[in-house]
Structure 1
Amino acid sequence: MKPLTSSSTGCWDRRVIESDEQLAERLATAAGRILLDLRARGEFEGKALGKAGDEAANAMLCRELREARPADALLSEEEKDNVARCAQSRVWIVDPLDGTREYGEGRNDWAVHVALAIDGVARVGAVALPGLDVTLTSGAPVALQPANTPPKMLVSRTRPAAEAVFVAEKLGAELVPMGSAGAKAMAVVRGEADIYLHTGGQYEWDNCAPAAVAAAAGLHVSRADGSPLRYNNADTYLPDLLICREELADDVLRFAAEYSPG
């Protein structure tokens, strides 16, 4: 059955039954449109634009998720947390605007994250890259492109982590600066880079959707020490992440373990 109605949020007729993957993709894409439209109107600039964008995208995502999946828990960067969610198997984990600075500066390397963790594992994810008019989803994994030679490693465009620089030097990798976590993770999925190693501090909403999309595409996804990522914790701090091509994972993890702060 096709949708009978449409709106700026991409809402479907209520009789249409969406899978979790379809819901995540639709909402991430719709939030991206809201953010692009808001920026194009020119009513806000810089930090004020980022704040307004966060609020607008979050309001739509939370409203739609609560309506579409009323029995599920919800964790959003922009909502007051309720740790009662930890008792539930299914929790939607949302970052309405990943890369507020990049969005406010008029750049394209920002994202929208919509994910579903089931029993602590990132099972469903959609990452919209609105500036590129692309939404990547665990429901339709992309085919991995050939590896880059030498390998390309993504780092923060404003504060590259010393550990990542150390690993890149050991690998002979080329450093590629980029904005948001979602943009960097999806650059690996899209074949624009080969490694995204982050050790500078993140929260569950920063990496749940990217982890689901990357894992579905066949990439290595783990903590920086190789342990699995676990979600729906009372403490949402999840400080490190590795997304890379499988054939590079052992070397990246080995060199990361060798790193010692000077």
Structure 2
Amino acid sequence: MSETALPTTPSWDEDLALIIAAAVAAGDTALGYFRRTVDVRWKNEGRSPVSEADLAANDILRTRLLGARPDYGWLSEETDDDETRLTRDTVFVVDPIDGTRAFIEGKELWCVSVAVVHRGLPAAGVLYAPALEELFQATHDSEACKNGEPIVVRDPGERLHLAVADDVVKKLHSPYRERIERVPHVPSLAYRLAMIADGRIDGTIVKKNSHDWDLAAADLILARAGGALRGLDGLPLSYNRPIVSHGFLGAASGQALPSLLAATRALEAH
């Protein structure tokens, strides 16, 4: 599906304003819990934490967004999946706190991620990192901005600054592995993609089992900044499907992406 499937209408700008306001409200509420003792429970057989801040932010997003757009579908990490979303052309795809572990540990690298997805493609997206005072935004036909200023990916050099797990780097083949300058761990996947969009790093390899809510907003922001997030088939991702998890992915600026995907395909083959 190409971007031509998305109609260019003022509604996406209106939706962007809506999701920015909701993300800021949710993020500022979560910030009130930050570096304080919060209730935490575990889901997914004890693998994923969810805090009372996640739930409070989720409530704000759902109330504000569906209150304004009751005909839109809803997909959130912190809400039981309602498959009626599959019957809606347009869906809010939300992660109230992307990087919950970092949030719980008092680290600043977490953000609120909100996207408007239309017919499988992101039409508007925002990432709000309140502890860092950073807000990223884009629509499918606008430039990407950070705190109101346009951002673009950087041109990669011979050395590639990648956000890649150490166990993944060790499995990559030479000589690609020798080109990598591994950046410190970035606990929020959405924020990691934003770092590519604003030119701080060259790319990342995303392990299996990321989800729509981790990706949709950041995918759009990265694309409008001149980069791309792709599956190993080289194709753009489609969102709001029955299965919302994804396999290995690669994200980078245009010039760095082909070699990164090739290295990741070799990794997947082993």
Instruction: Say whether the fold is shared (TM-score over 0.5).
Output: yes
Summarize the Cα distance change of 1:57–1:112 in structure 2 as closer, same or farther, 3 Å threshold: same
* TM-score, with length taken from structure 1: 0.84
Q: 1:6 maps to what in 2? A: none
Aligned identity (percent) is 25
1:173 aligned onto 2:176: no
Cα drift, residue 224 of structure 1 = 3.2
Summarize the Cα distance change of 1:128–1:189 in structure 2 as closer, same or farther, 3 Å threshold: same
Q: Is the 8 A contact 1:225 1:256 kept in 2?
A: no
Structure 1 residues without counterparts, runs of 5 or longer: 1-16
Q: Is the 8 A contact 1:198 1:242 kept in 2?
A: yes
- Secondary structure, aligned partner of 2:164: strand
Structure 1 distance, partners of 2:25, 2:62, is 12
Q: 2:112 maps to what in 1? A: 112
Q: Is the 8 A contact 1:99 1:179 kept in 2?
A: yes
- Secondary structure, aligned partner of 2:18: helix
Cα drift, residue 249 of structure 1 = 1.2
Q: Which portions of structure 1, spanning 4 or more consecutive aligned residues, are displaced by more than 4 angstroms?
A: 45-50
Structure 2 distance, partners of 1:95, 1:252, is 27
- Partner AA of 1:130 in structure 2: P
Q: Is the 8 A contact 2:219 2:228 kept in 1?
A: no
Structure 2 distance, partners of 1:53, 1:168, is 43
Q: Is the 8 A contact 2:156 2:256 kept in 1?
A: no
Summarize the Cα distance change of 1:211–1:165 in structure 2 as closer, same or farther, 3 Å threshold: farther
Structure 2 residues without counterparts, runs of 5 or longer: 1-11, 43-48, 145-149
Q: Is the 8 A contact 2:172 2:266 kept in 1?
A: no
Structure-to-structure mapping, 1:34-183, within 5 angstroms: 34-39=29-34, 42-44=36-38, 50-139=50-139, 141=144, 142-144=150-152, 146-147=154-155, 149=157, 150-156=159-165, 160-162=166-168, 166=172, 170=176, 172-176=179-183, 177-183=185-191
RMSD of the alignment, in Å? 2.5
Q: Is the 8 A contact 2:74 2:92 kept in 1?
A: yes
Structure (1 or 2) with the greater strand fraction: 2
Cα drift, residue 223 of structure 1 = 1.4
Kindly provide the CA deviation profile for residues 125-146 of structure 1, in whole angstroms up to 9, marking residues without a partner as x: 1011122101101145133154
